[in-house]
Structures are given as C-alpha cells and as structure tokens.
Structure 1
C-alpha cells in the first residue's frame, strides 16, 4: 500500500501506509492529516504537494526521510 487513506480501519500504522502516527489508537482509524500535521505540514494537501513523490530519500534513510513510509526511485512514496 502506498497511500494513507483517511478513516481506514487500523490497528497499527501498517494499515495507514506506515505513515508514522497515522493510526489513531482511540478510534482505530487512519488520521493521515493529523500525522502529516505532526510532521510539520499545514494540511494533507500541502503534504501531497510538497512531500509525496517530491522529497528525496535513500533506502538507508527512508524511515526518517519519509516519515515511516517507503522510498522508491529516490523519492518518498505516499
């Protein structure tokens, strides 16, 4: 899975595309927007415009560079 889907059922961040902090443990739903805000983006839209498939990364640094998501072809996949 490459994209965090808002309100998808989850028990861990795995179901939320591995986006760090996206699985809300209180509701067991993906809260992608809150996770991107916690990472410093103003909104989900801003993250998609400035981060997804734009932020450069390497496989060695993908955990940090990509907020838990994967690095593919040198860019963070979301």
Structure 2
C-alpha cells in the first residue's frame, strides 16, 4: 500500500523555521534549547497551524534553510545558522 505524503505549505514551513529560530523559553517551553524531538513535538506546531511533521522531514526542512542541529553527543545542543 502506498503511503500518502502530506504537503506542508510554504507558510507552514516558514512557521516551523521561525519557531526553530526562536528560543523555547520565549514560546513558554521549559527548556533553553531545541532538539529535533522537542521541535517536532512542540504542540504549537500542531495547534497554531495544524502542522504534523516527522523528525526526519523536520531535519531535512531545517537543513534546506541552513539551520543546523548539533547532536546529543555534543555539549552544545542548539540550532544555529550556518
């Protein structure tokens, strides 16, 4: 059975990118840095724009916008522009 791939609008993508570039504390989240998991689970992504996005799609989207994530094996766990 073929899997249906949901299209994310450019507005939805811009919303995700803006969220990734905003400190979680400013959005009322109890942590200081985003991780891929935290960003994908962030309820505002689903509540404000009703966007459902998986971790791999999110990682790819952030890569396209030159936003990187330093993995968990590094002490600096943050997003940043290249």
Give yes or no for TM over 0.5: no
**Structure holding more helix per residue:** 2
Which TM-score applies when normalising by structure 2?
0.25
How does the TM-score come out when normalised to structure 1?
Answer: 0.26
Larger Rg: 2
